[in-house]
Chain A
Amino acid sequence: AQKVTQAQTEISVVEKEDVTLDCVYETRDTTYYLFWYKQPPSGELVFLIRRNSFDEQNEISGRYSWNFQKSTSSFNFTITASQVVDSAVYFCALGSGNTGKLIFGQGTTLQVKP
């Protein structure tokens, strides 16, 4: 069975702190895809990153970085120097290489205080 676990329900930090959001996944597929989405209070899910199972290179985009480790089935997301605008719910999702179906985690609510 496929599953995504985001163990952190809520995280609260002060602006400019670094914060890491954890994501652990389970799948028997050899080809799969991992995603992170941001859901601000407006409700729309905003795509952040897509990573396939054959590419374990870490990625950096501005203040955002992602650490993909197949050995621990984890795909963690770090925000450096957090800002108030980063406050949102963040979802990690797993996509099957066969069906295209996305399995979402429960989400982590990040609150960045000024």
Chain B
Amino acid sequence: EAGVVQSPRYKIIEKKQPVAFWCNPISGHNTLYWYLQNLGQGPELLIRYENEEAVDDSQLPKDRFSAERLKGVDSTLKIQPAELGDSAVYLCASSLAGGTSTDTQYFGPGTRLTVL
């Protein structure tokens, strides 16, 4: 079974430029998560989707970050414009179910973003 797929693995951009990250979850997993991991820290949740619906986006900086999961499968996370402080690893995870149960979340390899 294929795991969570993310692309690109690495991205280097100039500040104020836009950037997008793509995630394909494990087949059949209804819940998708985007996490931010700063250097030397644990991941922090940005947004959680149940199918197409964003059910928890309280930690997403909505002035510059946006996300979508139009068909309930793949998801895209966008930053526009990027700032120096956005340099981090962006992790995507998926689980079979979500909501009131804490299913095991399986993570992708992440996208390492460097903003110059």
Which residues 93-116 of B sit at the A interface, judged by CB distance below 8 A? 93, 95, 98-110, 112
Residues of B within 8 Å of A47, CB to CB, are 104-107
B14 within 8 A of A: no
Chain B 46-77: CB-based contact to A (< 8 A → 1; otherwise 0): 00100000001000000000000000000000
Most buried by B among A37, A44, A50, A97: A44
Residues of A within 8 Å of B48, CB to CB, are 100-101
A72 within 8 A of B: no
B56 CB → nearest A CB, Å: 7
CB contact between B100 and one of A43, A100, A106 (< 8 Å): that residue: A100
B residues contacting the other copy or chain, number (CB 8 A): 28
Chain A 22-43: CB-based contact to B (< 8 A → 1; otherwise 0): 0000000000110101000011
A99 within 8 A of B: yes
A-B contact pairs, 26 of them (CB 8 A): A32-B102, A35-B104, A43-B109, A44-B3, A44-B109, A45-B93, A45-B107, A47-B104, A50-B102, A91-B42, A93-B42, A96-B102, A97-B101, A99-B56, A100-B31, A100-B98, A100-B99, A100-B100, A100-B101, A100-B102, A101-B45, A102-B45, A102-B102, A102-B105, A104-B44, A107-B40
Q: Which residues of A contact B (CB under 8 A)?
A: 4, 32-33, 35, 37, 42-47, 50, 91, 93, 95-102, 104-107
Q: Which residues of B contact A (CB under 8 A)?
A: 3, 31, 40-45, 48, 56, 89, 91, 93, 95, 98-110, 112
